[in-house]
């Protein structure tokens, strides 16, 4: 089945915000290391969207020590994030949001603020201000979808929702106009000195439909902060307890900390996640592991199931924010060294690799994060059932899947991928 599944929902391994928090935390932690040398303490992030994925941002930024203002047009979405404690406070006043942010940043305290309003109104207003410049600006409104996602400015929210149904063409027209205004304001903030990056929602490409020809002047988050990790076959790796018992996840958290004590970011994450991340649906966990590490973790899961310390099989999958399974020129494969951004072979090779390696199910999608027609990507899910055959499947899939990321980046000429291959004994099929 070839489908428009966006990402993990299409491969039946969607774990709601339990999944996104870690990826978002990883991105903001990498950004902080690159620009500020440590964490986000004392820094203010301005962003949009508090939906399924965007809702992870407030908690991720505060976990990295920073302050965040999240603009959201739907009051109920803000309330939901307050109720689940992903968000600290809400206001509908821009000035109040800025004052709260400044006070917290000056005191070095983390704080997340939901600001009710439309990004296409507020981001340009902030860009026009004299006395305030956020340190970091990004966006996670659902800009990839100009009809069912992005909400245009210039009309009240409820009227916009009605227009979506009564006159979709007019709605789309207004949404494209608003996205252009929004994207231009982000470019202005970049010119004024803010660190601006695209967070995988295709706002830049959408704004180009309305003549914002320099939309790509600010980078995507992958080339800016993630690609060096992709060269190591590193990426998000997730597991779900089929018992439905969160204690199984806690047992695995502890075991993983002991298996990888040298990975301090991972250990810090597992400790924070255990305390702060609420389970939704089947209990699950996510972390970033590289080539060699994932198969070790897979064997650990299978051993824990075999010994009965974990009550039922563990399902293992991953995101499509991945090193070797994606062709997405406005996200994962943006600005590749050899210009191979749109080469689709890697997604196809990856799905064949996971089938041959023994995944429980393999999936192939269109559209992940950026919208229909802009990307192709493959997913895999494997089951640690505690049997020797289960161990063989889990370790084979979890060795070969990240290896595809090393191959993909070596093929594109990234030195780091060759170094990692040499250090970890990966035979690269293509010459240097």
Q: Of 142 and 396, which CB lies nearer to ligand NAD in the complex structure?
A: 142
Q: Of 150 and 260, which CB lies nearer to ligand NAD in the complex structure?
A: 150
Q: Of 212 and 426, which CB lies nearer to ligand NAD in the complex structure?
A: 212
Q: Does 118 contact ligand NAD by CB under 6 A?
A: yes
Q: Does 321 contact ligand NAD by CB under 6 A?
A: yes
Q: Does 54 contact ligand NAD by CB under 6 A?
A: yes
Q: Does 288 contact ligand NAD by CB under 6 A?
A: no
Residues binding ligand NAD: what is the number (CB under 6 A)?
31
Could you tell me which of 396, 186, 422, 153 has the C-alpha nearest to residue 295?
396
Q: Under a CB-based contact definition with an 8 Å cutoff, are residues 19 and 52 in contact?
A: no
**Cα–Cα distance for residue pair 301/253, rounded to 1 Å:** 11
- What DSSP assignment string belongs to 259-292? H-TT-HHHHHHHHHHHHH----SS-EEEEEE-TT
Q: Of 286 and 426, which CB lies nearer to ligand NAD in the complex structure?
A: 286
Q: Does 144 contact ligand NAD by CB under 6 A?
A: yes
Among 5, 10, 48, 329, binds ligand NAD (CB under 6 A): 48
Q: Does 180 contact ligand NAD by CB under 6 A?
A: no
**Cα–Cα distance for residue pair 156/174, rounded to 1 Å:** 13
Q: Under a CB-based contact definition with an 8 Å cutoff, are residues 68 and 97 in contact?
A: no
Question: Could you give the count of Cα atoms lying within 13 Å of 96 in the half-sphere of its Cβ?
Answer: 10
- What DSSP assignment string belongs to 317-349? EE-SS-SSSEE-TTTTTTT-TTS-TT--HHHHH
Q: Does 199 contact ligand NAD by CB under 6 A?
A: yes
Q: Does 127 contact ligand NAD by CB under 6 A?
A: no
Within 147-176, which residues bind ligand NAD (CB under 6 A)? 149-151
Among 5, 10, 51, 329, binds ligand NAD (CB under 6 A): 51
Which residue sits closest to ligand NAD, CB atoms considered? 51
**Cα–Cα distance for residue pair 395/224, rounded to 1 Å:** 31
Q: Of 290 and 321, which CB lies nearer to ligand NAD in the complex structure?
A: 321
- Smallest distance, ligand NAD to C-beta of residue 23, A: 6
Q: Under a CB-based contact definition with an 8 Å cutoff, are residues 287 and 277 in contact?
A: no
Active site residue 287: yes
Q: Does 22 contact ligand NAD by CB under 6 A?
A: no
Q: How many helices and strands, by DSSP H and E, does the chain display?
A: 16, 13
Catalytic residues: 287
Which residues of this protein are in contact with ligand NAD, per CB under 6 A? 7, 23, 48-54, 71-74, 77, 118-120, 140-144, 149-151, 178, 199-201, 321, 369
């Amino acid at each position: 089945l070839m489908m428009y599944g966006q990402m993990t929902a299409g491969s039946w391994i969607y774990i709601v915000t339990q999944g996104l928090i870690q990826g978002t935390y990883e991105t903001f932690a990498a950004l902080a290391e690159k620009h500020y040398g440590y964490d986000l303490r004392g820094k203010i992030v301005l962003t949009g969207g508090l939906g399924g994925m965007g809702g992870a941002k407030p908690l991720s930024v505060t976990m990295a020590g920073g302050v965040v203002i999240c603009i959201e047009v739907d009051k109920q979405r803000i309330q939901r994030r307050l109720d689940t404690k992903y968000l600290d406070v809400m206001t509908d006043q821009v000035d109040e949001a800025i004052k709260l942010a400044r006070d917290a940043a000056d005191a070095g305290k983390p704080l997340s603020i939901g600001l009710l309003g439309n990004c296409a109104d507020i981001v340009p207003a902030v860009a026009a201000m004299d006395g305030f410049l956020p340190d970091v600006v990004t966006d996670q409104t659902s800009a990839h979808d100009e009809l069912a996602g992005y909400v245009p400015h210039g009309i009240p929210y409820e009227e916009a929702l009605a227009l979506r149904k009564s006159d979709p063409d007019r709605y789309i027209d207004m949404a494209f106009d608003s996205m252009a205004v929004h994207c231009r304001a982000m470019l202005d903030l970049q010119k004024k000195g803010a660190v601006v990056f695209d967070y995988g929602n295709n706002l830049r490409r959408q704004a180009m439909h309305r003549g914002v020809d320099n939309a790509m002047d600010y980078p995507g988050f992958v080339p800016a902060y993630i690609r060096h990790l992709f060269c190591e076959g590193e990426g998000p790796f997730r597991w779900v307890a089929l018992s439905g018992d969160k204690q199984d996840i806690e047992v695995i958290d502890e075991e993983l900390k002991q298996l990888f004590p040298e990975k301090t970011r991972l250990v810090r994450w597992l400790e924070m996640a255990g305390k702060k991340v609420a389970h939704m649906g089947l209990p699950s966990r996510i972390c970033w592991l590289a080539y060699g590490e994932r198969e070790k973790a897979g064997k650990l899961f299978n051993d824990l199931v075999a010994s009965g310390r974990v009550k039922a099989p563990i399902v293992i999958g991953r995101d499509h924010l991945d090193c070797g399974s994606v062709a997405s020129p406005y996200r994962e494969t943006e600005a590749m060294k050899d210009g191979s951004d749109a080469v689709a072979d890697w997604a196809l090779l990856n799905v064949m690799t996971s089938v041959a390696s023994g995944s429980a199910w393999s999936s192939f999608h269109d559209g992940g994060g950026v919208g229909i027609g802009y990307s192709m990507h493959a997913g895999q899910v494997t089951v640690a059932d505690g049997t020797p055959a289960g161990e063989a499947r889990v370790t084979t899939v979890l060795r070969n899947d990240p290896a595809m990321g090393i191959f993909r980046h070596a093929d594109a000429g990234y030195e780091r991928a060759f170094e990692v291959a040499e250090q970890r004994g990966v035979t690269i099929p293509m010459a240097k």
